[in-house]
Structure 1
Amino acid sequence: MAEIKPMIHKYCQNGTYMLLDVNSGIINVIDKMTYDVLDVYDGTNKDAVYQAFAGTYDKKDLDETLGELDELIEKEMLFAPMTENFKVVAEEEPVIKSLCLNIAHDCNLRCQYCFASQGDYDTHKRELMSFDVAKHAVDLLIKSTEGKRQHCEIDFFGGEPLMNFGVVKQTIEYIREQEKIHDKVFKLSLTTNGMLLDPAKVKYLTDNHISLILSLDGRPEVHDRMRPDAGGHGSYKTCADNQVYAAKHRNGEEYYVRGTYTKYNLDFTKDVEHMADLGFEGLSMEPVVGDDLSYAFIHAFQVEIGQAVVFFINAGQVVIGDGIGQVKRMDEGRPFIYYHFIMDLYRGPCIAKRLRGCGAGHEYMCVVPNGDIYPCHQFVGQDDYVIGNVYDGVTNTELPPLFRDMHVLNKPICCDCWAKFFCSGGCHANNIKYGSNIQTPYELSCKIQKKRIECAMYIQAVLAMRGQKARLFGDPEENCEGCGACE
């Protein structure tokens, strides 16, 4: 495990000077003098500061700035050492706490960029999960967490899970029974394109407290270009109409709309604006990942930081400015949440999340219709990554520890990166496919993540200075996912 040294990251956005202390996760808005001084000052070399800025700043002002920095250093809010708690978390044994149930290896859309090959995961076999497999998956999760964690999570995934809604309902009802028997708290979610999301299903999912992840790519022409139905027709109208209905009838239950942007809509801030105008209160946009040069970035935008990242810079400006601005909409009484810009200004995510991120392969796993278990849905169909089966349990004893050890302290590139405790080393599957191995982060993803983080810190800081945060971003305690990592 690498030694993590004190580190800071500073940058300027829209004339606001931002400072992140990497190890503590604490963010400050600073003035131009402090920004400049930190090019030189490391907490021990005041004489070097006086010499470097003798003709630029008054010594009295430099003294005041250095005094403020020394106070932050003394409180371990600047150039902070690495907490020993990271070592404790890093050495914990793997415990499965979350499952993705690929309840349907079939789909009613034929999205061009689909990593699941339009639902069948390159198996050329469309199939639905039986209730018996789903039941055994639930039992495996309960057994894994017995006496260790109270909180568990299951996401109904696909393909399109609503194509197997009967088994979804059976599984939900079984989970609610088992919660009482085993003193568990299950957080359940369902990811859907919305094509089959009729009022009856909306009511059932809402009444049973199932969080919804809804897939929509934004403007009609953008969505229909990449997401035709099985007959090759545009799917926007059905998807959008059903999702708008669902959002209006959630009765306070969680949901958000997730879009994918390609090289065809690098102006995706317009898609965010479009979806916000539809009335959706929670939104995110993810960059497409793939080798197909007709839509992907991976080879087409490797010069400098790439156009995708340029538009994240624009997003950071527009969200605050006069366009789709979150602050502007808040003032008008119609706020929305853009999830990539949610960030706790004080110390960031919990230790476990900062170290490992999603937990794929050791805390989070994916079950497919035949009962096989994979590290996550991105690995489905790759025989080398089968971890076990719901009937036999986890039988591959090498992969879970491997994934468990792939935290940021064991990734050389990540150790020297200021963003490591917010991205947690990136997606394992993308690292393997595009970074050549699990320890090497996917470069383009890193660049996009860094700009997301900078935009998020900037927006949060502006809101904090205005005294506005609660409706849009919540308090740190409210942002806790109840994952049980602290149990």
Structure 2
Amino acid sequence: MFNRKYAFDYNTNFIFSIDELSEKILNNTLDEHDKERFDIDIVERKKKFIKFLCDKGIISNGKPSLNNHNSKFQISTISLFLTNNCNLRCKYCYEKNLYKTNNMSKDVVKSSVDLLFNNLDEKTVPTISLFGGEPLLNIELIEYIKSYVKLQKLSNCRFSITTNGTVMNNKIYSLLNDLGTKIMLSLDGSKEKQDYNRKFENGIGSYDKVKSNIDEYLQQDMSDIVIRNTITKNDVDYKNTYDFFKTSGYKNLISIPISTSDEDEKLNKDDINKLIGNCKMIAEDVLNNILAGKEFLNINFFNYGKIYNNIDNSYCGAGLRSIAIDTNGDIYHCHRFVGDSTYKLGNVVRGVDNDLITTMQSYYYNRLNDVLMNCKDCWAFNLCKGGCMHENLLEGNSINKTNHELCNLRRSWFEITIALYAMICEKEPTLIEKVYGESVFNNKINKWIPLNIN
């Protein structure tokens, strides 16, 4: 990538640029023929330096290890399904079985908020994520949530919402603004792509309505809005989608590969390879824009700051740090498992099943050991931890069984992301904090990256 070669330590997340000799020393593949090719003094000097890095714990020895940092049930985020009602019928929706007019009650809201704040420690900032269905179809309940949180004097509570962008007016915009709500808006790209994937119940495409609402209400807040895009088989020429979002003025993009049990809709090997090639072209463009001091589109799979500090026990906090609560008050691992009783943890009104919570903590640890056995030879294990459980379930009928093609995609994204980060470090290190944020330096090792041992 970028005509450079980098080494990445999967246990410490340390990156450094390398040459052929350094690579051979690191991989212990230096043979007698190589010793004739390379100057003996340079070989010994590099060996000593690499040993120094190992002795200091900057480079690890052995296979990926299991980091036991977050196996405690400590909720900081709840996703509330305010309604199951939705005005769209998206082709790839995993909540099709939930299309109903059920709305969450005020009693469920109260119990959910109480559960969140009763399980917080003093240092944790709570987050309430508004979900559905389309949550903005139940604006009255959002107003109630605002008043109840205020009544409890919970001034530090953060709010986020995932919306399809079709429902917006002055009242809604004002309410979301008052709450300081972080908005994630689902948009698949151009009018052609959006209207193909995301139609209203009557079959009419949703692009024009979403674009109108963005232009009228959200244009001034584009830097705070995150666009969520689903990558389907029709979107693997992804550079075109990237160009659309970039030229349209969007700032933040989360792109997620389609998750489905439908074999005809799954991304196959050819789809993944084409997508990876497009992502490499995008990375070149992102790097050029960053180094030139131009605006750039912040894409989730290039966000090294997040990946870099993700030496954790799990791919995400589902069931440990975050839970989802459906319209009836039933508690699930996350929003993607809502409706699947296998992954239900209790009910906020009738009470949390503490035995289930204890079982879940043990289950997570055992799951990681199972994943570690399956992924023990994968250099990206500590960045991925086996991936999204729900994606695994849809793709392989088990939360522990990863999909080979999606693994290839995820590893390629990690490679591109690491290379992009390292290139910025080498070319213009003063931009690192600006591009990735202060959190990229949470780990003291990061301050020495990249280290060139050529």
Is the counterpart of residue 395 in structure 1 residue 370 in structure 2? Answer: no
- How far residue 249 of structure 1 moved from its aligned partner, in angstroms, is 2.8
- In 1, distance between residues paired with 2:226 and 2:442? 15
Q: Secondary structure at the match of 1:78?
A: coil
1:220, 1:236 within 8 Å by CA — same for their partners in 2?
yes
Aligned to 1:139: 114
After TM superposition, the structure 1 = structure 2 runs for residues 334-373 of structure 1, keeping only pairs within 5 Å, are 334-344=295-305, 348-351=308-311, 354-373=312-331
Aligned to 1:214: 185
Aligned to 1:232: 203
Deviates more, 1:404-413 or 1:128-137: 404-413
Aligned to 2:9: 21
Aligned to 1:95: 74
Aligned to 1:315: 279
Among 123, 135, 144, the alignment partner of 1:161 is 135
- In 2, distance between residues paired with 1:384 and 1:396? 16
Is the counterpart of residue 249 in structure 1 residue 220 in structure 2? Answer: yes
2:10, 2:64 within 8 Å by CA — same for their partners in 1?
no
Aligned to 1:185: 156
Distance 1:451 1:377, change over 3 A: same
After TM superposition, the structure 1 = structure 2 runs for residues 440-459 of structure 1, keeping only pairs within 5 Å, are 440-459=401-420
Aligned to 1:30: 18
- In 1, distance between residues paired with 2:294 and 2:188? 25
- In 2, distance between residues paired with 1:406 and 1:445? 23
Q: Deviation per CA, 1:344-383: give whole Å up to 9, x if none.
A: 49x92154xx221312123221111111111112212222
- In 1, distance between residues paired with 2:47 and 2:363? 43
TM-score by length of 2: 0.88
Aligned length in residues: 438
Aligned to 2:255: 285
Aligned to 2:228: 258
Q: Secondary structure at the match of 1:258?
A: strand
- In 1, distance between residues paired with 2:20 and 2:135? 52
Distance 1:81 1:364, change over 3 A: same
Aligned to 2:165: 194
More helix by share: 2
2:85, 2:99 within 8 Å by CA — same for their partners in 1?
no
Among 45, 54, 64, the alignment partner of 1:73 is 54
Unaligned runs of 5+ in 2: 444-454
- In 2, distance between residues paired with 1:83 and 1:319? 27
Deviates more, 1:431-440 or 1:26-35: 431-440
Among 363, 374, 387, the alignment partner of 1:413 is 374
Among 42, 45, 50, the alignment partner of 1:64 is 45
Is the counterpart of residue 150 in structure 1 residue 124 in structure 2? Answer: yes
Q: Deviation per CA, 1:224-279: give whole Å up to 9, x if none.
A: 11111111111112213323555433386x32111001111101221122112111
1:155, 1:190 within 8 Å by CA — same for their partners in 2?
yes
- How far residue 416 of structure 1 moved from its aligned partner, in angstroms, is 3.1
Deviates more, 1:452-461 or 1:309-318: 309-318
Q: Secondary structure at the match of 2:221?
A: coil
1:101, 1:366 within 8 Å by CA — same for their partners in 2?
yes
Q: Secondary structure at the match of 2:313?
A: helix
Distance 1:363 1:260, change over 3 A: same
- In 2, distance between residues paired with 1:97 and 1:403? 20
- In 2, distance between residues paired with 1:332 and 1:73? 36
- How far residue 78 of structure 1 moved from its aligned partner, in angstroms, is 1.4
Q: Secondary structure at the match of 1:276?
A: helix
- How far residue 449 of structure 1 moved from its aligned partner, in angstroms, is 1.1
- In 1, distance between residues paired with 2:157 and 2:257? 30
Q: Aligned partner of 1:393: which letter?
A: G
- In 1, distance between residues paired with 2:284 and 2:216? 29
Aligned to 2:90: 111
Distance 1:311 1:433, change over 3 A: closer
- In 2, distance between residues paired with 1:406 and 1:309? 33
Q: Aligned partner of 2:377: which letter?
A: D
1:262, 1:288 within 8 Å by CA — same for their partners in 2?
yes
2:310, 2:383 within 8 Å by CA — same for their partners in 1?
no
Deviates more, 1:95-104 or 1:449-458: 95-104
Q: Aligned partner of 1:17: which letter?
A: K
Distance 1:284 1:260, change over 3 A: same
Is the counterpart of residue 269 in structure 1 residue 227 in structure 2? Answer: no
TM-score by length of 1: 0.82
Aligned to 2:450: none
Q: Secondary structure at the match of 1:159?
A: coil
1:129, 1:369 within 8 Å by CA — same for their partners in 2?
yes
Distance 1:230 1:163, change over 3 A: same
- In 1, distance between residues paired with 2:84 and 2:200? 16
Distance 1:152 1:309, change over 3 A: farther
Deviating beyond 4 angstroms after TM superposition, the runs of 4 or more aligned structure 1 residues are 80-85, 244-247, 477-480
Deviates more, 1:228-237 or 1:191-200: 191-200
Distance 1:32 1:307, change over 3 A: farther
Calculate percent identity across the aligned residue pairs: 25
Among 333, 340, 355, the alignment partner of 1:382 is 340
Distance 1:478 1:284, change over 3 A: farther
Distance 1:336 1:135, change over 3 A: same
2:259, 2:395 within 8 Å by CA — same for their partners in 1?
no
After TM superposition, the structure 1 = structure 2 runs for residues 3-14 of structure 1, keeping only pairs within 5 Å, are 13-14=1-2
Q: Aligned partner of 1:272: which letter?
A: Y
